[in-house]
Amino acid sequence: MILDKFSVKGKVAIVTGASRGIGKVMSLTLAEGGADVVVAARTLEKLEALSEQIRLLNRNCMVCETDITEANNIEMMVEKTIHKFGKVDILVNNAGMNIRKRAIDLTEPEWDKVLNTNLKSYFFCAQAVAREMAKRNGGKIINIASIRSVIAPPMAPAYTASKGGVSQLTKALAVEWAPYNIRVNAIAPGYTETELTAHFKEKEKDLYEKIRERTALKRWGLPEDFAGTLIYLASDASDYMTGQTLYVDGGYLLT
């Protein structure tokens, strides 16, 4: 049956930036699909609450309170996953941040903070899980890119550079790891209502409405809007797809 190909039952997934927003919904989506999930972020309290939600879905969950901008922490996260579950089938590189500032005013520490979170961590998380996936001849790595992988609105030079890098990194890793049956793809969300973007609706209503009007479907995205794309890329249904960035943006890039 075709729907069986969309199952992730029996698989083990790691989700970074899992404590809120898109990462939280993606963690729950994978659990609903049948996967055991390792949830990683820096906020222990939120991770523990998420873990309880996942266990209510009758799936196993491991909480990993960690800062994945440090390569050593990434290695420990993957080692703990292997120790508990014996394997890792899916990685969702979702951790992200932004500093809204003009390019002329951005400092070196601010640049480094954004790039370390949004790009450097993606590479080293992917590298660490790929070493384990290669041993079992297969796996799925899903990077969270952005529509800013291809457009460049003002006030986010580091974020835009990092997300462009995520899309290109996805291609590079897909080519190099194809012989190991490791598929590497990316989801590029459009403007999405999360805790990180709440300021638009609260303090920049004109800009919020401008974005909504430009979007073909006339609304901002919700974290739940990416669940179907995630399951597709994480499951056997996407086995012949690699190196692609899928733009899930309500049609924002069409106009």
Give 10-residue mean pLDDT values along the chain (255 residues). Answer: 94 98 98 98 97 98 97 98 98 96 98 98 98 98 98 96 98 98 98 88 91 97 98 98 98 96
C-alpha triplet 141, 16, 185: angle, nearest 5°: 20
Q: Please state, in angstroms and rounded to a whole number, the distance separating the CA atoms of residues 213 and 226.
A: 21
> How far is Cα 175 from Cα 169, in angstroms, rounded to an integer?
10
What does the pLDDT read at residue 1? 80
Q: Which of 122, 159, 191, 247 is catalytic?
A: 159
* Residue 118 pLDDT: 98
159 a catalytic residue: yes
**pTM flag (> 0.95):** yes
For the beta sheet containing 61-65, the strands, ordered from the edge strand earlier in sequence to the opposite edge, are 61-65, 36-41, 12-16, 90-93, 139-144, 182-189, 245-248
